[in-house]
Structures are given as C-alpha cells and as structure tokens.
Amino acid sequence: MRYSEQSLPVALVAGPLSAIDADVLAIPAFEGEAAAAAAALDDGAGRRVAAAFESREFTGKPGTVFVTPCVTPGWRAQRVMLVGMGQRSACDATGIRRAAAAAGLTSRDRRWRRLVFALPAALALPVEAQSAAEGLTLAAHYSGIYKSDADARPVPIEGLIALPASASADDCAAAERSASRGYILAACSNLARSLANEPANVMTPRAFAEIAVQLAAESGLKADILDEERLSGLNMGLLLGVARGSAEPPRMVVLRYEPARPATTAVLGLVGKGVTFDTGGISLKDPERMHLMKTDMSGGAAVLAAMKAIAALKPDVAVAGVVPLVENMPGGRAMRPGDVVRGAEGKSVEVLDTDAEGRLILADALWYARQLGATHLVDVATLTGAVGIALGRTTTGLFGSPDSWVSLVSRTANRAGDRAWALPLFDDYREQLRSDIADLANVGGRPAGSITAARFLKEFTGGLPWAHLDIAWTAWADEAQPWQPKGPTGVAVRTLAELACAFEEWPSLPA
Ligand code: BES
Ligand code: MN
Ligand code: ZN
C-alpha cells in the first residue's frame, strides 16, 4: 500500500510581516482595497501592487493571485503574492480556506517551499487560523504517487500562518489550537483523497480492511473486521448478494471511538459506502467513464478518515464507523436483475437493477450500526448519478429526518467547506419502491432518482435521527479549480468530524 500523507503541520508566526523570512509571503487582498494592500507593503512592492490594481492586472477576484518580487527595503521575504479574496463583506471560512489553498498550490507549482499566509483579520481569529491551516494542508495533497519520475514530485510546502500584528498572547494561543485542529481535519481529508484515488486492483475490500486495522492501531480506535462467515452469520443477504459476482470477498469494517469521559450516552453511527469498484454488475455500466468507479468507496474513505480525525480531536461522545466493502462485478455467480434477497433485518428486496448496489450494502450496514448502539446516524455515499443532475458538481445532496438533525448536518457541512443542500424525502416517494413480490424494489425509476435512493435507505434506519449525504458528484473534481486540483476531493471528512465535536447541539441528546 503506497498511500501517504504529504502534509506538514502548519505553524504560526506573530510580529510584523517585514520581519518574516520566506520564499513567498501571501497577503489576502479584497476587491476594491488596493490602497490597503499597497500601504501594507510600503514603497518597494507597494508601488507594483498599486500599479497592478490600477491596470486591472489584479483586481482581488477570488481564485486569482498576483506575484511580485519583494523589493521593499527592510523586508526579508523574497516575494509577495496577493491572493484575491472577493468582497470583504462576503468573506467567510470557505473564502479563507480557498485563498490559503490557492496560495499553497501556486507555491507548490513554482517550487517555493517556505510559504507564509497572512491572515486578513476579517473574521474571528480562531476561524481564520483553522481555515488557513486547512487550506495550506489541503494544498499539500498529491495524487501522482504511481509516477516513476521522483523529480517531478512537488516540493513539500512549509506553511506558516502570520497572525495580525494586533494579536495578544491569548489570541495567539487560541489561534495555535485552531490551526492544529485545521491541520488534523485537512490531513484526514487528504487521507480520504489518497484512499479514494487508489486503483481498484490495489484497493480491494480486503486491502481497505487492512488499512483500517492499521489506522485503528495507530490512532487508538477499536477495530473489528467482519469477514464473509460473520456476514453470513448475521444474515446480511443484501450485502452478500452484491458481493456474489466478484472473486474478491466482501468485508465490513467497524471502528469505534470511546471517549475517556463521555458527556452523554449518545452514539454517533457513521456509515460509508465502500464499493471498491462498481461495474454495475449484470446491469453493466457504459464503459466510457467506468474507470472512475474506483472512487465508489469515497464514502467509506470519508468515514475511515473522519474516525482518525475524531480519535485525534477527542470529543466527549462515542462514535462508531461502519464501512461495508464489496466489489460489484458481473461474475458467473452474480445476482441477476429480478433476484430477491433478504437483509439482516428481515426485509426482502427485489433487485431490479444490479447497478443500484450501494443502497443494498448500506441497508445492512445501517442496521449493523444500530446493533452497535448508534442513536444518531449519518451515511455518506457515492449513491446516484441523479444527484448531479439536481445539484451539479459543487453541492452534495442531503436527505434525512428529522429536520432538526438534517439542518444541523447542513450547517456543519457548509461551515466545513463541504457544500450540501437538503432535498425532500416526502413519504409519497415510498410508492416508487413498491415491488410486486418483495417488501421493496431497489430502484424507483428515473424521476427523483436520488430521493428514492435515500428513501430506500430510510427503511433501514429504525426511525433514528438519520442524515444521508449523496457525494456521487462531489467526491471527485472533474476540473481543476485554483484552490483544488482535478481528482479526489475528500468531501465529507471535515463535516463528519465536526459533527461529532458539535454533539451538544444534537437533537434528542440523551443524558
Ligand atoms: N456508484 C453509482 C453512482 C455514481 C454515478 C457515482 C456517477 C459516481 C458517479 C451507483 O452505484 C449507481 O450506479 N447508481 C445508479 C442507480 C440507478 C441504477 C437507479 C445510477 O445513478 O445510475
Ligand atoms: Mn452502481
Ligand atoms: Zn455504486
């Protein structure tokens, strides 16, 4: 297994910017604030900055940068990079995270190692420090690990965050804690990206389970791996049905975090879809984009990486992570369209389409999370192509009940930079899942495809507070953005970890 974390921890620096030695000093600049940006740099670089604003070479638009040598007398940095922030009034954590990531990616491209990112002092200092640490760390992710030319590897960035000159000693201490939190969250996002990017010949269900065992040992989590025999013993016929077509045996990974001093008896159950490759099975997919189905375990990767973050952040609430792992293949023993299989809870399902496999394995995993004592559930899955038709590539589909739980997940996700939007789950949609011969059909036709998929999952949540994140179009970036290269995004990792830390805000929290 060759996955590796490229990230280096992010440190803080206080004092005047002029005194900071660096290859590049990144200064966030807001639209229409040329004077402020130029004044901060005195004459030397300042005049060039003023000229760049003047000629509109740089306007401060989000995602743009302007680099100039730092010739200001008395300044120690080699270069200054202005990073476009957009309007000051619209600045939020996402804006700072993206600006820091854009600065990091630009530095990496040009092989400048020592990058200092100056906080803009537009938001509360801890929010800025965490977001900047996240952005710098996210920029360190590298996905070309199978390339042979070692010289082509990006240089590791030594990211530093410069605090505003006005910061007190207490401010610095708080910012330090926030930056370390940001580093943990983003390094774990990068871990999920590395896992999701692995080819399916490497990342089999058994390989994923081995990584989980290793990660648990390193992080102080408890791990339990259910093999085929135990899965059959528990009658997980939905999961086993999907696994039948593959020569690779299925697994179910269970990771448990137990706090030293629990503040509540609640248990968060995190469930992630772990289809290591999705051919569609007998309902075979078109070959055109099939190679991307190596990422069909991105939900599972997000749960694993979030468990690692939770183990490091140590919230006072118990968390169980469950990842059902299968390869969906059209082998000679594969499920056929029309087959009826029965899950561990006893419900029978008519499999009208073997490509709707994610909901089958998640159904048994949601049931198992309840057996483990989960009181609140969240699942993450690359579940439907239809979610992208509804929401596009930027926004994760969010479903669930009750509304109080869904809206907490929504707020947490949007703050963490995992943009999510709730779609309805009216009971009327249950009609589309009616089967002539079984309790449920596994597909509900083309209308509202991501909603009926979510509605299927709901049947297996036992009425617990439950939220479902459909990341089919957000787990993988098809195009590079200034703040994010093409490839795996690590979506949902920060959301899940932050949700565990926010347990005091959960609805119906037991004592
Ligand atoms: N893994 C796919 C969903 C997917 C599509 C993920 C595109 C990433 C990008 C899932 O298992 C699937 O095949 N869903 C079907 C459901 C249909 C058969 C009801 C789909 O979306 O076509
Ligand atoms: Mn499928
Ligand atoms: Zn799938």
Which atom of ligand 1 is least distant from the CA of 384?
21
Q: Which of 352, 380, 383, 456 to mutate to test the pocket of ligand 1 (most atoms within 8 A of CB)?
A: 383
Residue whose CA lies nearest to ligand 1 atom number 17: 356
What's the fold here for domain 234-257+269-304+317-505? Aminopeptidase (3.40.630)
> Is residue 1 pLDDT above 70, yes or no?
no
What are the phi and psi torsion angles at 192 (to 5°)? Answer: -60, -40
- Ligand closest to Cα of 276 equals 3
Which atom of ligand 1 is least distant from the CA of 382?
6
Map out the domains of the chain as residue ranges: 11-193, 234-257+269-304+317-505
Which atom of ligand 1 is least distant from the CA of 453?
19
Give the distance (Å) from ligand 2 centre to CA of residue 285.
8
pLDDT at 6: 55
pTM above 0.95, yes or no: yes
* Dist CA 43 CA 113 (whole Å): 26
Give the distance (Å) from ligand 1 centre to CA of residue 454.
13
Q: Measuring CA to CA, how many Å separate 319 from each of 80, 194, 251? A: 44, 23, 20
- Ligand closest to Cα of 280 equals 2
Give the distance (Å) from ligand 3 centre to CA of residue 381.
8
Provide CB contacts within 8 A for 289, sequence distance 6+: none
Residue whose CA lies nearest to ligand 1 atom number 7: 385
pLDDT at 234: 98
What's the fold here for domain 11-193? Leucine Aminopeptidase, subunit E; domain 1 (3.40.220)
Q: Tell me what the mean pLDDT of segment 184-200 comes to.
A: 97
pLDDT at 7: 63
What are the phi and psi torsion angles at 127 (to 5°)? Answer: -65, -45
Residue whose CA lies nearest to ligand 1 atom number 5: 385
The string of pLDDT tens digits covering residues 152-163 is: 888 889 999 999
Q: Tell me what the mean pLDDT of segment 396-411 comes to.
A: 98
Q: Measuring CA to CA, how many Å separate 104 from each of 10, 118, 290? A: 12, 12, 32
Give the distance (Å) from ligand 3 centre to CA of residue 296.
6
Q: Tell me what the mean pLDDT of segment 250-267 comes to.
A: 98
Q: Measuring CA to CA, how many Å separate 91 from each of 30, 84, 158, 438? A: 9, 11, 25, 52
Choosing from 285, 342, 415, 419, the catalytic residue is 285
- Ligand closest to Cα of 290 equals 1
* Cis peptide leading into residue 324 (ω within 30°): no
Pocket lined around ligand 1, Cβ cut-off 6 Å: 278, 296, 353, 355-358, 382-386, 443, 449, 472
In angstroms, how far is CA 229 from the centroid of its own chain? Answer: 32
Q: Tell me what the mean pLDDT of segment 334-342 comes to.
A: 98
Q: Which helix (H) or strand (E) holds 229?
A: helix 228-233
Listed residue (450, 397, 491) closest to 196, CA to CA: 491
Q: Which of 242, 355, 362, 471 to mutate to test the pocket of ligand 1 (most atoms within 8 A of CB)?
A: 355
Choosing from 181, 193, 294, 359, the catalytic residue is 359
Q: Which residue has the tokens 């999907």?
A: 242
Give the distance (Å) from ligand 1 centre to CA of residue 383.
6
Give the distance (Å) from ligand 2 centre to CA of residue 363.
15
Q: Is 359 considered catalytic here?
A: yes
Give the distance (Å) from ligand 1 centre to CA of residue 385.
5
Give the distance (Å) from ligand 3 centre to CA of residue 328.
8
pLDDT at 3: 46
* Residue 32: DSSP 8-state: T
- Ligand closest to Cα of 475 equals 1
Q: Is 222 considered catalytic here?
A: no
> Is residue 5 pLDDT above 70, yes or no?
no
Residue whose CA lies nearest to ligand 1 atom number 16: 356
The string of pLDDT tens digits covering residues 39-98 is: 877 767 778 888 999 999 999 999 999 999 998 888 899 999 999 999 999 999 999 999
Which atom of ligand 1 is least distant from the CA of 328?
11
* Dist CA 143 CA 307 (whole Å): 22
- Ligand closest to Cα of 452 equals 1
Residue whose CA lies nearest to ligand 1 atom number 13: 355
pLDDT at 40: 78
Average pLDDT, the chain: 95
* Dist CA 456 CA 488 (whole Å): 27
> Is residue 224 pLDDT above 80, yes or no?
yes
pLDDT at 2: 45
Least confident of 45-49, 166-170, 229-233, 452-456: 45-49
Provide CB contacts within 8 A for 346, sequence distance 6+: none
Same fold, 11-193 and 234-257+269-304+317-505: no
Q: Which residue has the tokens 């002539």?
A: 436
